[in-house]
Amino acid sequence: MGEGANARAYFEAIERGEHDAQRRFYAEDAEVEIRGAMPRGGKAEIVAFFDELWAAVPDFTFQILDFVSEGELAVVRWRATGTFAGPGTLQGLEPNGAKLLLEGVDVVRMRGDKVIRNDAYSDSGALARQLGALPAEGSRAEALGKKAFNTRVNLGRHLAGTADVDEVADGVWRLQGEPGRCNVYFVRDGDGVLMFDAGARTMVPAVRAAGARLGGVTRIVLGHGHTDHRGTAPALGVPVYCHADEREDAEGSGGFRYWDPKLRDVPIPHRWFHRVLHKAAWDGGPVKIAGTVAEGDEIAGFRVVHIPGHAPGQIALFRPSDRLALTTDAFYTLNFWSRDCPPYVPLDAYNFDTQRARDSLRKLAALEPTAAWPGHAEPITGNVGDQLRAAASA
């Protein structure tokens, strides 16, 4: 039996109401997180979670709505129902007879017949309302709660904003957010700072606060125009620059013109998430480009280096004085599960031309940087040139 069939067998065991399913199917070293309900834990935590659930909701039923698998990965969309009848408590709440209906998605990774990782997603807000822990939608209590929340937010907007930025080199700061531990760089530019790359739309509040704290954003230079790197630019109201070969994508599709629109070469389940999230959460939309930069131009003490491949007009910024390189998506140092890893060339599915991307890594390596800071996750330090050459040849 393959991993996909084994994953389905686990969910079918829950569907049959087998209380020992987690004990039987989870590996001893499994990693589990149920967003909004159970923090990251292991087998013991998921067993305890379901033991509590069965005790609190004795008529708990589970239904598989959709199931897909590919290799060791499987994704199930499910529906759960039941009555919060007790006698056990649920997430610290006493049973009150509430009727429950919840839908969600589990993303599991198998090793043979054992679950080694499960990332589960459901609407914890809807569950809290059904349990009575949050006001019902449309109620006066909900309206009052929203008013109080908005008052706090608006007050915060008038206070001095701060953001968690790290100074990574003299006059260079990094702000990290999501997706994929996305990096935005701030470079001292007169009394303010310029931004290199603009991250995702989800980062707008943090970017605004960081820019204000550092003296104000003077301009934005896009390393490339993909949706998760132009996302905050339309919201900041400052001039935006990019390489001439990137203007079409910065002002247009954000890279989708040369990607497969269904992202069929992206691994499951990321394919489905990315198809939705690029447009729904990460992209701030087309950016009006105020001007272009070219190979050899000087920007705030850095030199522009054209490194096409991942995107046609992708650029790095290289500072000769300390050989610091800001490299956007020339390479990645995290895998699809956001875990650190050695540098590698981005996946073909997201590249304009992968062979040119490899050539551009060799071009960066020839500069022998002391550190190369990418568009996501952590930098390469130490023998940077050799690491880049190895990534280009992998």
* 151: confidence class by pLDDT, cuts 50, 70, 90: low
Write out pLDDT tens, residues 34-80.
988 888 999 999 999 999 999 999 999 999 999 999 999 999 999 99
How many other β-carbons are positioned within 10 Å of the β-carbon of residue 163? 20
Start and end residues for every CATH 3.60.15.10 domain found in the chain = 165-393
Write out pLDDT tens, residues 213-270.
899 999 999 999 999 999 999 999 999 999 999 999 999 988 888 877 777 777 776 6
Phi, psi of 6 (to 5 degrees): -65, -40
Residue 269 contacts residue 107 (beta carbons within 8 Å): yes
Q: Give the Cα separation of 392 and 394 in Å (integer).
A: 6
Domain 165-393 has CATH 3.60.15.10: yes
Query: CATH classification of 3-137, choosing from 3.40.47.10, 1.10.10.10, 3.10.450.50, 2.30.30.140?
Result: 3.10.450.50
The helix (run of H) or strand (run of E) holding residue 115 is strand 114-122
Please, what is the Cα angle at 288 between 309 and 234, to 5 degrees? 95
pLDDT at 104: 92
pLDDT at 274: 65
Mean pLDDT of 173-180: 89
Residues 6+ apart with CB under 8 A from 209: 161, 162, 163
> What are the counts of helices (DSSP H) followed by strands (DSSP E) for the chain?
12, 21
Start and end residues for every CATH 3.10.450.50 domain found in the chain = 3-137
Q: Quick check: helix, strand or coil at residue 196?
A: strand
> Does residue 389 or residue 265 have the better pLDDT?
389
Q: Looking at the predicted structure, is the pLDDT value of residue 153 above 80?
A: no
> Does residue 326 or residue 140 have the better pLDDT?
326
Write out pLDDT tens, residues 122-134.
887 788 888 777 6
